[in-house]
């Protein structure tokens, strides 16, 4: 099996692909209330271009592809892209990160196309807090998305929760969810350099872990499939696990296996470095598959060893533009 390596001998086998920069929500930590100026349709990779780039990337050693955005489910016929990506290699691990609000209507089609697992972002299980955080979202829609994903047989279904100060008061809601449904809840530290609220809202994941101990002993456990940098724990009575992702308080750069492709076709080797290469332009200028492969290699050769400790230095774009 071929593999891609960066200059620090890390194997790069995971591509995060933003299929759009658009979103139907306006989460306070990710977007300003008025949204972000949209890219022109002409400047976004077509499904054909994505499939071509992925074919080369998979041939070179990428074995996991995550579709993200913006909100990936606002892009038309995403199931067609999933089917096309799934056809590249039967063993390819395809996943999706979504806010879930449009998932109920699409879950079955996506599963039929080859999507096996999904991460759904829900930062509060209280209708009023959810509305305040997303500005425009309805919690009911996101929860229907969770139910639809489970009914469609997706496994694991993970719930992503960005840790913000309100959470401490609302932990019992997530515990009830874990007792009711076989989902995995992951608490993710807020990264202010690519966010739209300031760093004073940051709460360490460790604080949430401590607060959760009041619901029972957390025991370290094996991760569900597609674990990435999270540490997982079991809690008595919960049907799924609890995970913590701590990009701020503890570095996982030494184990980073990621490459990103933005909706406008920029290869980006590190979330926190503004370095990008314009793959879209190379493809539209008649680049061959060998040129695509060479561009991937050049991009990886610029992958930094680490982000040097997160500071509030601007990474150039917000998460919705890079594909969080």
Residue 26: name its binding partner from ligand SAM, ligand SF4, none (Cβ under 5 to 8 Å by kind). ligand SF4
Site membership for ligand SF4, residue 72 (CB under 6 A) = no
Q: Which is nearer to ligand SF4, 69 or 156 (CB)?
A: 69
Site membership for ligand SF4, residue 26 (CB under 6 A) = yes
Q: Which is nearer to ligand SAM, 118 or 283 (CB)?
A: 118
Smallest distance from ligand SF4 to CB 270, Å? 19
Q: Give the footprint of ligand SF4 on residues 299-318 (CB under 6 A).
A: none
Give the phi and the psi of residue 63 in degrees, each rounded to 5: -120, -5
Site membership for ligand SAM, residue 191 (CB under 6 A) = yes
Q: Which is nearer to ligand SAM, 229 or 324 (CB)?
A: 324
Residues forming a β-bridge with 242: 185, 233
Give buried/exposed letters for 248-280 (b at 16+ CB in 10 A, else e).
beebebeebbbbbbbbbbbbbbbbbbeebbebb
Structure tokens at 245: 């992702």
Encoded one letter per residue, x for contact with ligand SAM by CB under 6 A and - for no contact, window 24-43 reads -----xx-------------
Structure tokens at 160: 């992503």
Between the alpha carbon of residue 35 and those of residues 26, 29, 30, 73, 82, the distances in Å are 7, 12, 9, 17, 27
- Locate tokens 């509030």: which residue? 312
What is the Cα Rg of the chain in Å? 19
Site membership for ligand SF4, residue 23 (CB under 6 A) = yes
Distance CA 312, CA 192 (A): 6
Structure tokens at 129: 């807090």
Q: Which is nearer to ligand SF4, 81 or 238 (CB)?
A: 81
Distance CA 24, CA 27 (A): 10
> Is the peptide bond between 156 and the residue preceding it cis, with omega within 30 degrees of 0?
yes
Encoded one letter per residue, x for contact with ligand SF4 by CB under 6 A and - for no contact, window 90-109 reads ---------x----------
Structure tokens at 139: 């919690």
Q: Which is nearer to ligand SF4, 99 or 129 (CB)?
A: 99
- Where on the chain is the footprint of ligand SAM (CB under 6 A)? 23, 29-30, 68-69, 71, 97-99, 121, 160, 162, 188, 190-191, 194-195, 319-320, 324
- Where on the chain is the footprint of ligand SF4 (CB under 6 A)? 23, 25-27, 30-31, 69-71, 99, 121, 320
């Amino acid at each position: 099996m071929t593999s891609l390596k960066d200059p620090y001998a890390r194997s790069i086998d995971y591509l995060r692909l933003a299929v759009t920069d658009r979103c139907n929500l306006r989460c306070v930590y990710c977007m300003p209330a008025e949204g972000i100026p949209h890219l022109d349709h002409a400047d976004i990779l077509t499904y054909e271009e994505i499939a071509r780039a992925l074919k080369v990337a998979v041939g070179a050693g990428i074995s996991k592809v995550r579709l993200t955005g913006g909100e990936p489910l606002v892009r038309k016929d995403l199931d067609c892209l999933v089917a096309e990506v799934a056809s590249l290699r039967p063993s390819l691990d395809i996943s999706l990160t979504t806010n879930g609000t449009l998932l109920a209507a699409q879950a079955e089609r996506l599963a039929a196309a080859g999507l096996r697992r999904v991460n759904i972002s829900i930062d509060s299980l209280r209708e009023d807090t959810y509305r305040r955080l997303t500005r425009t979202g309805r919690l009911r829609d996101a929860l229907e998305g969770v139910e639809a994903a489970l009914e469609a047989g997706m496994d694991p279904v993970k719930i992503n929760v960005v840790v913000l100060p309100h959470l401490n008061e609302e932990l019992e809601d997530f515990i009830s969810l874990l007792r009711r449904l076989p989902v995995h809840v992951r608490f993710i530290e807020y990264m202010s350099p690519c966010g739209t609220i300031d760093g004073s809202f940051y709460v360490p994941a460790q604080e949430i872990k401590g607060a959760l101990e009041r619901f029972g002993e957390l025991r370290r456990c094996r991760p569900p499939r597609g674990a990435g940098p999270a540490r997982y724990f079991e809690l008595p009575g919960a049907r799924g696990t609890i995970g913590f992702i701590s990009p701020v308080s503890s570095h996982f750069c030494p184990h980073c296996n990621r490459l990103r492709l933005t909706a406008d076709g920029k290869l980006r080797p590190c979330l926190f470095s503004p370095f990008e290469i314009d793959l879209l332009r190379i493809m539209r200028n008649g680049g061959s598959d060998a040129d695509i492969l060479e561009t991937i290699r050049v991009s990886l050769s610029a992958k930094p060893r680490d982000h040097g400790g997160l500071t509030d230095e601007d990474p150039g774009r917000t998460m919705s533009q890079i594909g969080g």
